[in-house]
Structure 1
Amino acid sequence: MSEVPIEDVLAVHQLYGRQSHAIDSGQAARWAATFTPDGEFVSPSYPEPAVGTAALTAFAERFHAGCAESGERLRHVVSTVEVRSGQTADALRALAYLQIVGTPEGGSPRLHRLTVLDDELVRTTGGWRVRRRTVHREP
């Protein structure tokens, strides 16, 4: 396995930051744009995968609407990121922990989920994008 250039590692961290801030603030199209046009989001927390920009945008809209209905502010906290080389120079694999923390109005924060992100990333003209994200829930 070859060493991943530090510029690419930093770009992946920036990508995860953009994703977290976008979905937490209700910017569904911005969140979906961090995936490739045919990108996939697969999670056991949801009945079926979201595939493609339109489905990813709709997923993020539903997620944010659910938060608004519950009166709880959710935050995606990505940590312990490991970026590995992919099968080509324009592909990477990233593993990370994702905590989803919720804070009700006037309440205390609580951990909703602790998951592992397993991402296939590809280099595009706009930078690194998620081609496929598989979420694994902790038991």
Structure 2
Amino acid sequence: MSSKTGAVDAVTVARLHQLYGRQSHLIDGGDASGWAQTFTDDGEFHSPSYPEPVSGTDALIAFAERFHTEARAANEVHRHVITNVVIDGAGDAATVRAYLQIVATSIGGESRLVRMTTFTDRVVLRGDRWRIARRDVRRDDTA
């Protein structure tokens, strides 16, 4: 990452894009443990779509397991589609803002947009891996 706040080098941008692509594939594919490992050990997930925040690896695993199980029970495949990624930061920490669409496809049926959101992540470099320390989700259908 560049030493200038806000200016992010191309390698960091690529690595963070890979993090978000990998994270989407992990939760959509049912790898709850892998998804949770994209967060720090004390990582936090805050979303108005769920009754309370989720914190820590065990709770994140359980959250991702429920997400995948509920999709399967509905006979649907869910996909997380992350776009318009903006990264600001310096050193071993950054803020990432992006759009997140969740699309559900009924097995043998049509696709529909479940929700459109914006998220803001605080990401940190741990060793040689970028991980999410905190995610705040804002639904587009709320004020």
Once the two structures are superposed, residues 46-92 of structure 1 have per-residue CA deviations (whole angstroms, 9 ceiling, x without a partner) of 00111000000000001111011000100000000001115xx1100
Q: Separation in 2 of the partners of 1:51 and 1:27?
A: 18
Is contact 2:6–2:87 with CA below 8 Å preserved after alignment? no
Tell me which of 53, 58, 63 is aligned to 1:59: 63
**Count, aligned residues:** 137
TM-score computed with the length of structure 1 as normaliser = 0.96
The alignment yields a C-alpha RMSD, in angstroms, of 0.9
Stretches of 4+ aligned residues off by more than 2 angstroms? none
Q: Separation in 2 of the partners of 1:2 and 1:23?
A: 29
Q: Separation in 1 of the partners of 2:68 and 2:108?
A: 19
| Aligned: 1:19 with 2:26 | no
Tell me which of 88, 95, 105 is aligned to 1:93: 95
Gaps spanning 5+ residues in structure 1: where? none
2:135 maps to which residue?
133
1:126 Cα deviation (Å)? 4.1
Q: What is the DSSP-based 3-state SS (H/G/I as helix, E as strand, rest coil) of the residue aligned with 2:48? A: coil
Alignment of 1:34-73 (within 5 A): 34-73=38-77
Once the two structures are superposed, residues 84-121 of structure 1 have per-residue CA deviations (whole angstroms, 9 ceiling, x without a partner) of 115xx110000000000010011111000000010000
2:83 maps to which residue?
79
Q: Separation in 2 of the partners of 1:41 and 1:126?
A: 22
2:110 maps to which residue?
108
Counterpart of 1:118 in structure 2: which amino acid? T
Gaps spanning 5+ residues in structure 2: where? none
Q: Separation in 1 of the partners of 2:42 and 2:28?
A: 22
TM-score computed with the length of structure 2 as normaliser = 0.93
1:3 maps to which residue?
7
